[in-house]
Amino acid sequence: DVKVTQSSRYLVKRTGEKVFLECVQDMDHENMFWYRQDPGLGLRLIYFSYDVKMKEKGDIPEGYSVSREKKERFSLILESASTNQTSMYLCASSGYEQYFGPGTRLTVT
Partner 1 sequence: EDQVTQSPEALRLQEGESSSLNCSYTVSGLRGLFWYRQDPGKGPEFLFTLYSAGEEKEKERLKATLTKKESFLHITAPKPEDSATYLCAVGVIQGAQKLVFGQGTRLTINP
Judged by CB under 8 A, the number of residues near partner 1 is 26
Beta-bridge partner residues of 6: 23
CB of 86 to partner 1, least distance (A): 15
In the region spanning residues 23 to 62, those forming contacts with partner 1, defined by CB under 8 A, are 30-31, 33, 40, 42-43, 45, 48-50, 56, 58
CA distance 87 to 63: 13
Its sign, for the CA torsion 59, 65, 17, 26, is positive
Based on the number of CB atoms within 10 Å of its own CB, is 61 exposed (0-12), middle (13-18) or buried (19 or more)? middle
| Nearest residue (CB) to partner 1, 19 versus 91 | 91
Task: Summarize as ranges the residues that interact with partner 1 (CB under 8 A).
Answer: 4, 30-31, 33, 40, 42-43, 45, 48-50, 56, 58, 88, 90, 92, 94, 96-103, 105
